[in-house]
Amino acid sequence: MPSQVTDVIGPKRQRAHPESRIPLVLKVVWTAVMLAWIPVYWHQYGPQNFLYYCDIGNLLITVGLWLESRFIFSWQAVGLPNIPLLVRSLGLYHFVVPILLLWAVYRLGYDGRGWKWQIVLMAIVVPITFFWHSEDNINFARGIGHEQHLIPGWLYLIGYLVVVPLVVYWPTHLALRRFCQPTRTISTSPIA
């Protein structure tokens, strides 16, 4: 059982490498961009915009950079393919985020708990977006690209919650595990 929060979301400095593995300039620049980005997007699109996986990911990446948490980067990297590259490339951060995530996972190592936490995040966020702002189809909660009408909405939602982990998160987990073999086990906690 972890004794501190850092045991779960980031290795303690004395158990990890003594030097920082993420450059300070990257941490500061990313944080500055996020401090400008958050109020602008909040004002322009409203709070529901922060239910998009990419926006949640930006916030988690900020925390991951400062903690140098391979767990957070692994978690977010597993969810990476859920948004098509073309859609991601429409915004600058959509282009930078996949590169940053893959670089960080390669640099820090892959934490196998990431895909499980991505499923937890999906199981919380997708039903919220399905019921709250159905007209926006956030995270494809009501259909791929646009709201689907082939099957009842509730059945699509259940299918989404089952199919996406099997078809997207699990294969991505396997690919990332091969891409960057973990160097050590981080935790023996029940969530691992």
Report pLDDT digits (tens) over 7-21: 455 544 444 445 788
123 in any annotated domain: yes
pTM: 0.59
191 in any annotated domain: no
34 in any annotated domain: yes
* Number of independent structural domains in the chain: 1
50 in any annotated domain: yes
- Contact in structure between 66 and 24 (CB atoms under 8 Å): no
192 in any annotated domain: no
Query: Which structural domain, as residue segments, surrounds residue 64?
Result: 7-179
pLDDT in tens, 21-73: 899 999 999 999 889 888 888 888 888 888 888 888 889 999 999 999 999 99
- DSSP for 48-113 reads GGGGSHHHHHHHHHHHHHHHT-HHHHHHHHHTGGGS-HHHHHTSHHHHHHHHHHHHHHHHH---TT
